[in-house]
Amino acid sequence: MNHLHRLLSASAVIGLALFASTLSASAASSPAAADSSTKHAVLTGQDAFTDAAHESPGTRRHLTVADLPEPMPEQSVDNGAHIVPRPSDAWPIAPKGFKVELYATDLDNPRLIRFAPNGDLFLAESDAGKIVIFRGVDADGKPKQVSVFATDLHQPFGIAFYPLGPNPKYVYIGDTDEIVRFPYHNGDLKATGPMENLADLPGGGRLRGGGHWTRDLRFSLDGTKLFASVGSHSNVDDSDTHPEEFHRADVLEFTPEGKFIEVYASGIRNCVGEAINPTTGQLWCSTNERDAIGNNLVPDYITHVQEHGFYGWPWFYMGGPNGGHQDPRHEGKHPELKSKVITPDILLEPHFASLELTFYEGSQFPAEFKGDGFAAEHGSWNRANRAGYEVVRLPMHNGHATGEYEDFLTGFTVGGADGDVWGRPVGVAVAPDGSLFVSDDGSRSIWHVIYTGK
């Protein structure tokens, strides 16, 4: 099967900002909340292309394939985030009724987070090659205990527990170049046995211009399939002529013992975050699309993943009524694939850098959140006006996306869309009590979002 790979493509020309929301962040002693109403405002068409300065909790956007502009590679810019220390009056902004607490800080490149069945929070500190455990919340909102579970890993990212259920025997780690596992029993704060290599993966790379290094892991609901996501090696290299793209820009399927089965889905440039929809049992991906063909191309996306489905990279993007849109850098290539390009469920702002994804199964948040998704948007670099730098909510109906997404946790930038950035969300995870935890590698922190109703 052909492997269609992808790198973010597009700088972003920002459309009208209908929602001017200058929300003031409260000080650390008094976390911020923004008003949100029961009826959500929905920006559609060209009005949905906004930027970080116009993100506010409760605002929804609904982008469709019909809204996409023509490729404009001359717009491509390098407008990466300028990271600054969090200002004293800056704090993540959540919808009204939610409270945000600073759970942990001074971390070392905090990336993906996942809860073990016993309630311990596992964190991948990728650059340091460590997995760290945080246990409990004390009276001051801080961890009761912190322990290093494992070290000497190779850019660890994905974390999965197996078998599924309350009593796992292993914790699986997605290193950049392999799938490994450690013996694990509830309550272990350190690995109690040696690391076992299960399968090799195409490894390495940095984010700019491709070379995606993150590897997420998820088990199917029945526990028979292990899905590993592997991003492309480049932005948009032709995988026919670049052997380094083999088994990249794919979701790969393995057995729990690490035997490779097949390319489960292809043409997904970088499925950074995987999740299993609890209602449908389907695998979902939070995906970074390609760069360098326009401010508003190509939208990042979040979608359920069809087995043997093709999502376009590198030759096409975003299927529609007439099939996929051909990337101008591959004009005329693979016409037989044009009709096979799948349209994703939720189109996000281009260049959002959509990372970890989770579904809300808790009971602390209002009932309307049950079954919805949350995703961390790390923030753009290939867009004239920065976008992302937030956590978004993904409304669902009976396990299926409405196509909209909603600003949920904002406030990580300073000033306008060209201002400094102090926070960059990476991971999202739902705690056993139904609260939400968010990792942020900009401020090197983990945030705790609690619903109080006040």
For 210, half-sphere exposure in the C-beta direction (CA atoms, 13 angstrom radius) is: 23
Tokens of 171: 């914790």
Secondary structure letter of residue 341 according to DSSP: B
pLDDT above 60 (res 29): no
Contact residues for 331 (Cβ-Cβ < 8 A; gap 6+): none
Distance, in Å, from the CA atom of 293 to the CA atom of 189, rounded to the nearest integer, reads: 47
pLDDT above 70 (res 61): yes
Output phi, psi for 5, to 5 deg.
Answer: -120, 165
| Segment 130-186, tens digit of pLDDT | 999 999 999 999 999 999 999 999 999 999 999 999 999 999 999 999 999 999 999
Cross-strand partners of 375: 357, 392
How does residue 418 score in pLDDT terms, banded at 50, 70 and 90? confident
CA-nearest of 308, 263, 303 to 283 is 303
> For residue 221, which amino acid is it?
L
Instruction: Say how many C-beta atoms besides its own lie within 10 A of residue 130's C-beta.
Output: 18
With a pLDDT cut of 90, the percent of the chain lying above it is 87
Mean pLDDT of the chain: 91
Note the CATH number of domain 32-451: 2.120.10.30
Mean pLDDT of 31-46: 67
pLDDT of res. 419: 79
pLDDT above 70 (res 30): no
pTM of the model: 0.91
3-class state of residue 265 by DSSP: strand
Domain ranges of the chain: 32-451
Instruction: Say how many C-beta atoms besides its own lie within 10 A of residue 387's C-beta.
Output: 30
Please check whether residue 251 is in contact with residue 305, taking contact to mean a CB–CB distance below 8 angstroms: yes
pLDDT above 80 (res 377): yes
CA-nearest of 223, 287, 211, 214 to 254 is 223
pLDDT of res. 410: 98
For 314, half-sphere exposure in the C-beta direction (CA atoms, 13 angstrom radius) is: 26
The CA-atom distances, in angstroms, between 428 and each of 123, 307, 376 are 11, 25, 6
pLDDT above 70 (res 263): yes
pLDDT of res. 271: 98
Tokens of 313: 């990279």
Q: What is the CA radius of gyration of the chain?
A: 20
